[in-house]
Structure 1
Amino acid sequence: MRFDNLYLAGIGSALPGTVTTSEAVSRGLYDPADREMSGMLGVMVAGETPAVDLAAEAGNIAIKRSGHEPGDFVALLHSGSYHQGPDGWSAPHYVLRNTVDRPITALEVRQGCLGMLSGLQIAAGLLTNRSHAGLPDVEGDAGLSDTGADAVLLTAGDNYGGPLVDRWNASRMFLLADGGAAVVASRRGGFAKVLAAGAVSNPAMEELHRGGETLFPPDLSRGLNFEERTAWWRARWAEGVAPPMGHLGELVAEVAERTLEEAGSSIDRVKRVCHVGFTEGPLTAIYLDPLGVDAAKGTWELTRTTGHAGAGDPFIGLEWLWTRGDVEPGDHVLLIGTAPGMEAACAVVEITERST
């Protein structure tokens, strides 16, 4: 979908210190052969800092950079790929309380590693609907203007340091990293204009991340281990039961081509690609090769030192590029990711301001 009046007004991240992969090998946490094959140098580890505090920290940085005041916000959209806190409790409202702290709606976008990219499309709908509502600009019962709210805060945060997750071995496709990210979507202007965003899925592949686990009652004691589910499907295949067929790279190529066309851009026009923090082989097979780009055009230089920080990866990459001056006004940047489902999503933005 193409947008005419959607901007990124501020961006921020909360990046904990890293544990190097060589240290993880020396401590017996990570297999040396896996390390060699992964190409990874380090992973962010936040210790006992809650995921929502990482999200709030990033959110406050993004708000400060955006120039928006708390009263400008119509909603907060929060994402996390792993547990955020107690069952029956609202992580989005915790982040809201510790950032904007206004009586606006706070929602959780449960879209795995696509949470922020999916949230951007939801934010576009919220802001577009308000701009075309034709409502008088008056104060409502909650003390908020019906049409004066021009911004949505998107946040993400994860901490995989709990006892049920082995960040080093949960998947050979990535090493799970802790971290927070945030961006302010605005209809007033910003450092980047969102030209288009889109998503495409192959729901027939949803079984791949379910494996043999029961749907009810959910077994929360098993933790997050994608390798176990992959092994389950290998065993079924050996028994003659083929797993669902499909390739994430095909979804990546399809959504990128479609969205770039809607944006009036092309992969050759794109200066940089902000992708998720996969290990070298899967990153190449699922993202770089299908897009027809090399690692230097992506953010591999960064992600190989941080790991896979859930939904925040593309926006952590964008902040890194922008604050370093690696992208300048007029440059097009592609933000892209994937999530269980299977689904791929992306956004095309044009840089409009230099970082100060």
Structure 2
Amino acid sequence: MRWGQVHIAATGVWLPGRRSAEEAVRSGRYDAEEHAANRIVSVAAADTEPDGGPSAPEMAVRAARVALERAGEAARRVSTVYHSHLWFQGAELWAPASYVAEHTVGSDVPAFGLQQSCNAGVASIELAAGRLGTADAALLTTADRFTGPSFDRWRCERGLVYGDGGTALVLSATGGLARLLSTATRVDNSLEPVSRAARLADDPRAVETPLDLAAGADAYTRAHGNMRQIAQRMAEVADASVRDALTDADTTMSGIDRVVLVSTGRSRMRWQLELQLGVPEKISNWELSGTVGHLGAGDHFAGLDHLVESRQVQAGDRVLLVGGGTGYSCSSAVLEITGSAPAPQGD
């Protein structure tokens, strides 16, 4: 999809303190071989904060307030909120998106929850852009808190470690720090059982052991083929998404200056960068990923925020965001940096 007057007005991130990966290995919580392959230094963990730290929606609100302050005048024109997450948001049968909207942009702004796993952040850009009016803005947020006993951040999935945090992005029709050139989404719904396995239950409390995506994937491969074949099918979906986004942006990979991927461990990320995309690690979001972990749907907003705030991009640079989430779906977006976010305006 080609986009005309759609812009990233601002980004915002709120991350808690860090837990050391080496300490997790020493205490037996993290597998030493996984640590050696992943090269994760630390992960963002909400329970490092005073009083146990904020809930996931509270982290989204904190990130959103940063983004809205940076967005200046665009913050006054927010007409829609999209909130994305993977894990428990603090209460059952509840609408966390409405909580985020109420505590950021007000009671009368429609708010929608989006659950497309780790792909939801990039997917929300495409969805919100399609709804954006000629003078509108949209607030996109993500947040998760991956804590026990139902979730083991260190062992849930091979190849990455889960981190806590909130992220936000303000999409605007009237300018900002980057212009949205294109988006593209491709899916293969036949791959949804890879993460589901046999964990269906009538009551969430009936699942007594922590979520184990690695075991689920192993069970699926025993029944349906080897993991290499499954990974190849996922790679084909991602390849198609990236190819479509680049074509619609009238560019190629050689025209991309920075790439932001799902924050996996180093070995998996290098495979995606070097073998799949054909670009070096140095233009990726690994610098941030290795210190905060996988932020669920928030890796891309956090990665873009880090590039802008650390001045690693400048006007004219093109940034490729590549999502990917269980289901299986992949959304890609091409942005062109146009300058700094507008300065906050006084009341």
Tell which deviates more after alignment, 221-230 or 289-298.
Answer: 221-230
- Whether 1:300 and 2:286 are equivalent positions in the alignment is yes
The aligned counterpart of 1:110 is 115
* Structural mapping, 1:1-356, within 5 Å: 1-47=1-47, 48=52, 49-68=54-73, 71-127=76-132, 130-131=133-134, 150-214=136-200, 216=202, 219-236=206-223, 245=230, 246-354=232-340
Tell me the secondary structure at the aligned position of residue 147 of structure 2. Answer: coil
- 1:14 maps to a residue whose letter is W
In structure 1, C-alpha distance between the alignment counterparts of 2:323 and 2:329, rounded to whole Å:
9
In structure 2, C-alpha distance between the alignment counterparts of 1:242 and 1:26, rounded to whole Å:
32
Tell me the secondary structure at the aligned position of residue 335 of structure 1. Answer: strand
Structure 1, unaligned runs of 5 or more? 132-147
Tell which deviates more after alignment, 9-18 or 221-230.
Answer: 221-230
**Pairwise CA distance, 1:208:** 0.8
2:9–2:74 contact (8 Å) kept in structure 1: no
Q: Show CA shifts across 1:101-123 (max 9, x none).
A: 24111100111111121111111
TM-score (norm 2): 0.91
**Pairwise CA distance, 1:69:** 5.9
TM-score (norm 1): 0.89
In structure 2, C-alpha distance between the alignment counterparts of 1:151 and 1:354, rounded to whole Å:
17
**Pairwise CA distance, 1:324:** 1.1
In structure 1, C-alpha distance between the alignment counterparts of 2:278 and 2:284, rounded to whole Å:
11
The aligned counterpart of 1:135 is none
1:332–1:349 contact (8 Å) kept in structure 2: yes
In structure 2, C-alpha distance between the alignment counterparts of 1:17 and 1:289, rounded to whole Å:
33
2:323–2:330 contact (8 Å) kept in structure 1: yes
1:81–1:311 contact (8 Å) kept in structure 2: yes
2:273–2:280 contact (8 Å) kept in structure 1: no
Tell me the secondary structure at the aligned position of residue 289 of structure 1. Answer: helix
- 2:17 maps to a residue whose letter is G
**Pairwise CA distance, 1:348:** 0.4
- CA RMSD, 1 decimal: 1.9
Q: Give the greater-gyration-radius structure (CA).
A: 1
1:154–1:182 contact (8 Å) kept in structure 2: yes
2:69–2:75 contact (8 Å) kept in structure 1: no
In structure 2, C-alpha distance between the alignment counterparts of 1:348 and 1:69, rounded to whole Å:
21
Tell which deviates more after alignment, 97-106 or 213-222.
Answer: 213-222
Q: Show CA shifts across 1:218-247 (max 9, x none).
A: 65544422012023235436xxx6788443
- 1:123 maps to a residue whose letter is A
In structure 2, C-alpha distance between the alignment counterparts of 1:70 and 1:290, rounded to whole Å:
38
In structure 2, C-alpha distance between the alignment counterparts of 1:70 and 1:334, rounded to whole Å:
25
Q: How many pairs were matched up?
A: 334
Distance change (3 Å), C-alpha of 1:205 and 1:234? closer
Structure 2, unaligned runs of 5 or more? none
Percent of paired sites with the same residue: 30
In structure 2, C-alpha distance between the alignment counterparts of 1:97 and 1:342, rounded to whole Å:
32
Tell which deviates more after alignment, 39-48 or 50-59.
Answer: 39-48
Q: Show CA shifts across 1:30-66 (max 9, x none).
A: 1222211111111110113200111111000000000
Tell me the secondary structure at the aligned position of residue 107 of structure 1. Answer: strand
**Pairwise CA distance, 1:286:** 3.7
In structure 1, C-alpha distance between the alignment counterparts of 2:161 and 2:85, rounded to whole Å:
16
